[in-house]
Amino acid sequence: MHVRKLKGFRDILPAETPVWQQVESAVRRVFGRYGFEELRLPLLEETALFRRSIGEATDIVEKEMYTFTDTGGTSVTLRPEGTASAVRAYLENGLHRSDPKQRLYYLGPMFRRERPQKGRLRQFHQIGAECFGWEEPEADADVLCLLWDLFAELGLSGRVRLEVNTLGCAADRQSYVERLRASLAGRTDDLCENCRRRLGTNPLRVLDCKSPRCQEATVDAPAILDGACPECTAHFDRVRELLSIQGVPHAVNPRMVRGLDYYNRTTFELLSGDLGAQNAVAAGGRYDGLAETLGGPRLPALGFAAGIERLVLLLGDARPHDGPVAYLVHRGEGAVAEALRLRRELAKAGLRADLDYQARSFKAQLRAADRRGARFALILGEDEMAGGTVTVKDLAEGTQTSVPAAGLAAYLGNHGAGC
Ligand SMILES: [Zn+2]
Ligand SMILES: [Zn+2]
């Protein structure tokens, strides 16, 4: 019996990797330009990190984490998101002591054991950005510009829309939770079972329940923004003003609450109509209290995560991998060793060449050259070996010419093989 991959996990095959690489290189370019530095974080952390930061009454912590006890008896969890780890790394390595203002990014796999019928992956990939040390709304606006420009760099800004909201400060949130509970008090029977429970534990989540019953029941729910204190209101107004000045289109969505406990003030989502119901392709917000929750100092911060799978889906088929410039066709005494030597020489000259280690017939090797999409076939037979030459067959033009082996790289470079 074959061992198969786990449900919710997938292989990313060579036909797909060019578009992944396209995303990853755009991420590195754009983040670099905005002064963000890369942070590489462990995949496995102590379970307590996520329980404390994400919140006990969230879907992630309640039912989606890959948690197990390792042989040393420690409860460990495969990271379900990156922000908690980034804050932990920042505090643990004392980055705030050298300079509390840090802009960091990361990319890599995250793990959530979601229900498979939702068609969601249990290992998915995210790009994350965290901007530590600034309370100012200018930081929020700059991070949103970065997010917008990343999508522009990928040619996707026309296919996404930005929605923003504010959750206010802890006091605003507390008073909002009371107003929300009061407004839903008479409608408890209209809510789904999940939300009736959430009303007690995490009432904000009722607002982003996907059930039509719950959406209908909360249609007249008060907006957080309407009850926010003057400071939070001014902060949010300034973020929006700066976005307008920068020409980043956005709309306020007063129902957007985000699923995690640690957010405060600005929250945002980048949505695409091309992705169906689960249409957020990036999301984030401010989390000024998270470092304190994890035992550190007060540290204003904000960040976002974008799903690479969703970006890849939006980009569709990228260009396939380029074929090799040349395919070495060899046959006879010493020819395969010479082919290997020439391949190294071409590689040093920046040219991609391919070959078969088996000395099959010329015809079979030429067919392989064609299949691989090679521009040139480089033939090494008895005559060529004796004369120290290579027969260069231009597969596009159908012409061929004899070139001294020593001058092969230069010849190919001069004939349009260099890139
Ligand atoms: Zn406030
Ligand atoms: Zn519901």
pLDDT grade, residue 256 (50/70/90)?
A: confident
Q: How far is the CA of 181 from the centre of ligand 2 (A)?
A: 14
Distance 297 CA to ligand 2 centre (A): 36
**Digit-coded pLDDT (tens) for 11-24:** 999 989 999 999 99
Decide if pLDDT at 165 tops 70.
yes
pLDDT for residue 7 is more than 70 = yes
Residues 256 and 237 in one domain: yes
- Residue 179 C-alpha to ligand 2 middle, in angstroms? 18
Note the pLDDT of residue 273. Answer: 82
- In the chain the first and final C-alpha atoms are separated, in Å, by 46
Residue 210 placed within a domain: no
139/35 same-domain check: yes
Query: What is the distance in A from the centroid of ligand 2 to the CA of 14?
Result: 41
Distance 296 CA to ligand 1 centre (A): 22
The lowest-confidence range among 40-49, 190-199, 264-273, 332-341 is 190-199
- Ligand sitting nearest the alpha carbon of 236: 1
Instruction: Please report whether residue 223 resides in a domain.
Output: no
**CA neighbor of 179 nearest in space, from 204, 208, 212:** 204
Residue 106, beta-bridge partner list? 128
The ligand whose atoms approach the alpha carbon of 206 most closely is 2
pLDDT tens column, 316-348: 865 556 778 899 999 998 999 999 999 999 999
Q: Predicted confidence band at 58 (pLDDT cuts at 50, 70, 90)?
A: confident
Q: Which of 77-91, 200-214, 334-348, 376-390 has the lowest mean pLDDT?
A: 200-214
Question: What band does 305 get if pLDDT is binned at 50, 70 and 90?
Answer: very high
Query: ∠ CA 411-382-374 to the nearest 5 degrees?
Result: 40
- State the distance from the centre of ligand 1 to the C-alpha of 227, rounded, in angstroms: 9
125, 70: one domain: yes
Task: Tell me, in angstroms, the distance from the centre of ligand 2 to residue 201's CA.
Answer: 13
CB-based burial label for 141 (10 Å; 0-12, 13-18, 19+): buried
Q: Do 288 and 348 have their domain in common?
A: no
Range with the lowest mean pLDDT among 37-41, 142-146, 203-207, 389-393? 203-207
Question: In terms of domains, do 246 and 380 share one?
Answer: no
Phi-psi region of 358 (alpha: psi -120 to 50; beta: other; left: phi over 0): beta
Q: Report the length, in residues, of the chain.
A: 419
For range 225-237, the mean pLDDT: 95
Give the distance (Å) from ligand 1 centre to CA of residue 203: 19
Burial of 119 (0-12, 13-18, 19+ CB in 10 A): exposed
CA distances from 160 to 79, 147, 310 (A): 27, 11, 12
**Proximal ligand: closest to the CA of 184:** 2
Give residue 331's pLDDT: 94
Q: Tell me the pLDDT band of 418, cut-offs 50, 70 and 90.
A: low
Confidence of residue 278 (pLDDT cuts 50, 70, 90): low
| Domain final residue pick, 291, 315, 339 | 315
Q: Could you tell me if 356 and 275 lie in one domain?
A: no
Is a pLDDT exceeding 50 seen at residue 419? no
214 domain-assigned? no
Task: Tell whether 373 is covered by a domain.
Answer: yes
Which of 315, 350, 374 is a domain's end point? 315
Instruction: Tell me what percent of the residues of the chain surpass a pLDDT of 70.
Output: 96
**CA 272 to ligand 2 center in whole angstroms:** 23
What is the pLDDT at residue 318? 56
Confidence (pTM) = 0.86
Identify the CA nearest to 41 among candidates 131, 127, 100, 150.
127
Confidence of residue 107 (pLDDT cuts 50, 70, 90): very high
Q: What average pLDDT does this structure show over 372-392?
A: 95
Worst-scoring range by mean pLDDT, 161-165, 261-265, 387-391?
Answer: 261-265
> How far, in Å, from the CA of 63 to the mean position of ligand 1?
31
- Average of pLDDT values for 353-372? 94
Residues 277, 331, single domain; the answer is no
What is the β-pairing status of strands 67-69 and 75-78? Answer: antiparallel
Same-domain pairing of 110 and 153? yes
pLDDT of residue 414 exceeding 80, the answer is yes
Per residue, the 3-state secondary structure of the chain, as one string, reads CCCCCCCCCCCCCCCCHHHHHHHHHHHHHHHHHCCCEECCCCCEEEHHHHHHHHCCCCHHHHHHCCEEECCCCCEEEECCCCHHHHHHHHHHCCHHHHCCCEEEEEEEEEECCCCHHHCCCCEEEEEEEEEECCCCHHHHHHHHHHHHHHHHHCCCHHHCEEEEEECCCHHHHHHHHHHHHHHHHHHHHHCCHHHHHHHHHCHHHHHHCCCHHHHHHCCCCCCHHHHCCHHHHHHHHHHHHHHHHCCCCCEECCCCCCCCCCCEEEEEEEECHHHCCCCEEEEEEECCCHHHHCCCCCCCEEEEEEEHHHHHHHHCCCCCCCCCCEEEEECCCCHHHHHHHHHHHHHHCCCCEEECCCCCCHHHHHHHHHHCCCCEEEEECHHHHHHCEEEEEECCCCEEEEEEHHHHHHHHHHHHHCC
In this structure, which ligand is nearest to the CA of 203?
Answer: 2
Task: At 197, list the tokens.
Answer: 């429970």
The reported pLDDT for the residue numbered 277 is 62
What mean pLDDT value characterizes the chain? 91
Residue 126 belongs to a domain: yes
Residue 283, pLDDT score: 95
Structure confidence at residue 307 (pLDDT): 95
The residue with greater pLDDT, 112 or 96, is 112
Structural domain contains residue 180? no
150 & 237 share domain: yes
**CA triple 122-125-127, angle to 5 deg:** 145
Cα of 231 vs centre of ligand 1, distance in Å, is 6
User: Separation of 407 CA from ligand 1 center, angstroms?
Assistant: 72
Does residue 346 share a domain with residue 295?
no
Together in a domain, 68 and 163: yes
Q: Residue 126's beta-bridge partner residues?
A: 108, 307
Residues 165 and 241 in one domain: yes
What is residue 321's predicted lDDT score, i.e. its pLDDT?
Answer: 63
Ligand with an atom nearest the CA of residue 192: 2
CATH number (domain holding residue 129)? 3.30.930.10
Q: Tell me, what's the pLDDT at 355?
A: 96
Tell me the C-alpha distance between 354 and 360, whole Å. 14
Give the residue numbers spanning the domain of 114: 17-169+228-315
